[in-house]
Amino acid sequence: MTRITFVSHDGAERTVDATDGDNVMRTALANDIDGIVAECGGSMMCATCHCYVDDEWADKVGSRMDGEDDMLESAASKVIPTSRLSCQIRITPELDGLIVHLPESQT
């Protein structure tokens, strides 16, 4: 099982088990992680699952998908180079230990 650590805006950390093949957004929702709203349910039609991939993991997670930049333009919090839509990060065994930081606000 792949483990992901979510770091809230205030620095609180929570590590959860994730199912390979799923995505980071669904993992957050299944584990009641505050800070991921996911209004569109993962169809890349909003930016309410915006997250910041930890710098150490950015290369392993990969670059943004087509259309992701457009959606991030409507993010409520600052967009930085490691900003991603968590619905677009597919969980693989290589991401075991992934650290994802959550923005101050999604709305």
Q: Give domain limits for the chain.
A: 2-101
Class of domain 2-101: alpha beta
By the 8 A CB rule, do 18 and 27 touch?
yes
The pTM of this model reads 0.95
Residue-level pLDDT at 1: 86
Nearest residue to 2 (alpha-carbon basis) of 102, 89, 105: 89
How far is it, in rounded angstroms, from Cα 101 to Cα 77? 12
CA atoms of 2 and 69, how far apart (whole Å): 27
Per-residue model confidence as pLDDT tens digits over 42-72? 999 999 999 999 999 999 999 999 999 999 9
**pLDDT in the model for residue 48:** 97
Q: What is the pLDDT along the chain (107 residues), one digit of tens a residue?
A: 899 999 999 999 999 999 999 999 999 999 999 999 999 999 999 999 999 999 999 999 999 999 999 999 999 999 999 999 999 999 999 999 999 999 999 98
